[in-house]
Structure 1
Amino acid sequence: MQIPTGFEAGVEGATLKADVRDLDFHYGAFHALKRVSMPIHDHKVTALIGPSGCGKSTLLRCFNRMHDLYPGNRYAGGGIVLYPDNTNLLSPDVDPIEVRMRISMVFQKPNPFPKSIFENVAYSLRVRGMTNKNELADRVEAALKGAALWNEVSNRLKELGANLSGGQQQRLCIARALASDPEIILFDEPTSALDPIATASIEELIIELKEKVTILIVTHNMQQAARISDYTAYMYLGEMVEFGVTDQIFIKPQKKATEDYITGRFG
């Protein structure tokens, strides 16, 4: 991949998982993303930061084709290439359902289904046609362990997911995202509705999860981005202003606009 001029590629030899190439996106007549390009490094955490309305969540939702669910939305430009099979996720020939199996999402507010803890996690496996009870049980247990929730719910699997605390519900949603064995997990401000203790738990979990999966996170909290991400992208008015290793972005940004935002002089 060729990194756009002025963008920092990151650690030499780092493997790429995806590549956003000159992506444009429109909500009807509104041009929300403007020729956005950035690399997504494999088994790393990449944070998207910037003021409200700058396009962070819009970009995130391009990765799993969430925008397809609403009329009037339109992708344009080069697209998003997923490696190692070089699939353009935004190609009309690619099934959005398959995209969402490969790329899971965890939302801002915990949103467990009105089902049991077990069925919340098993949902995507059943959608894929898995019916073997033992296999389902093993996969659900593995996902709950991956989300650091198994020890707290192993004897409560038939209870409604909504009975859990806020932090536990978000970890249940992470387990649900892990169950389909995704290649990338998207997090859209996953701790904004949680208390500080639950937030710390989710942050620790995200750092652990990058050993298994690539992570892209939108956060309004710059301190959080600095704590948990390997790479950071600063966006403004639908454009990618600067991308780089997180330490470089926060300590010595290349663009004045980035420095102004990081230091609180803007936004």
Structure 2
Amino acid sequence: MVNPNDSVTSTTNPPLQTLAEVRNLNFYYGNKLALKSINLLVYEKKVTALIGPSGCGKTTLLRCFNRMHDLYPGNRYEGDILLGHESPRNLLKMDAIEVRMQIGMVFQKPNPFPKSIYDNIAYGLRVRGINNRAVLDEVVERSLRSAALWDEVKDRLKESGTALSGGQQQRLCIARALATDPAIILFDEPTSALDPIATVSIEELITELKHQVTILIVTHNMQQASRVSEYTAFMYLGEIVEYNPTAVIFNNPQEQKTADYVSGRFG
């Protein structure tokens, strides 16, 4: 496996800022070891893609960041996922609700709550006890603008979020994730259920969002990974085989398994 510290920061000027670090992470579904000795640096305000064949552990790793696995009995973590700069906190030892406020997630299929567009965005703030209408109004507008949805729904905020088109619903879910001012947003195959036009819209949005939030994306679409990410980790059988700048992964991979995968020889 390529060490995440090798050849990633040394060729970049100025130095990258690490926002999160996975250290020696193992993850178990019951007695099954699904992730093995994962080490990964996540750079601030960059897009990092996780690629690899089905069942390699991409989504499993992604869901470790926001502790989604806690929702099911028998799952177990070993190791550390650190978040922050000078005094990083271990996400695996924090309260899970607090973790999910700091680590937003956008799923494969759009999943707006069966509430109004406004209430979808305001939900996370209300969970935090924020009910001031002026504050909520400001955050709702800012989040919808950041998700490139404001102009389309500003006169429909009382309508149900489920009445929007598929692409609009996914942007609503992105706005909902942005509303709590997260450190990282996780995207799990965010365009796999969308048509090509909506896919382009979401990819363009991701490119814009990286200027305000760090992004970690799982995708089966290698062209998408090459378009939207600066760094890519290739995973195979629960391990990270290679982690490098995306251009290296796709144009000059350092590991034979990576070369075989990106060239279509397997997977």
TM-score, normalized by the shorter chain, greater than 0.5: yes
Task: List structure 1 runs of 4+ shifted beyond 6 angstroms.
Answer: none
| Structure 2 residue aligned with 1:245 | 245
Work out whether 1:80 is the aligned partner of 2:81.
yes
Work out whether 1:108 is the aligned partner of 2:108.
yes
| Structure 2 residue aligned with 1:127 | 127
- Cα separation, 1, equivalents of 2:196 and 2:46: 24
Normalising by structure 1, what TM-score? Answer: 0.96
- Cα separation, 2, equivalents of 1:220 and 1:139: 33
| Structure 1 residue aligned with 2:46 | 44
C-alpha offsets along residues 13-64 of structure 1, whole Å, 9 cap, x if unaligned?
A: 1000101111000000110000010100000000000000000000000000
Work out whether 1:176 is the aligned partner of 2:176.
yes
Normalising by structure 2, what TM-score? Answer: 0.96
Q: 3-state SS of the aligned residue for 2:266?
A: coil
- Cα separation, 2, equivalents of 1:100 and 1:7: 30
Q: Which runs of 5+ in 1 are unaligned?
A: none
| Structure 2 residue aligned with 1:149 | 149
| Structure 2 residue aligned with 1:32 | 34
Contact 1:9–1:39, Cα closer than 8 Å, also in 2: no
- Cα separation, 2, equivalents of 1:18 and 1:147: 24
Q: 3-state SS of the aligned residue for 1:217?
A: strand
- Cα separation, 2, equivalents of 1:45 and 1:4: 19
Q: 3-state SS of the aligned residue for 2:48?
A: strand
- Cα separation, 2, equivalents of 1:24 and 1:229: 25
Contact 1:188–1:219, Cα closer than 8 Å, also in 2: yes
- Cα separation, 1, equivalents of 2:220 and 2:82: 26
- Cα separation, 2, equivalents of 1:216 and 1:107: 12
| Structure 1 residue aligned with 2:17 | 15
| Structure 2 residue aligned with 1:4 | 3
- Cα separation, 2, equivalents of 1:50 and 1:138: 40
Residue 8 (structure 1) shift: 3.5
Contact 2:3–2:242, Cα closer than 8 Å, also in 1: no
Which residue identity does 1:197 align to in structure 2? I
- Cα separation, 1, equivalents of 2:103 and 2:110: 18
Residue 4 (structure 1) shift: 3.0
Percent of aligned positions that are identical: 65
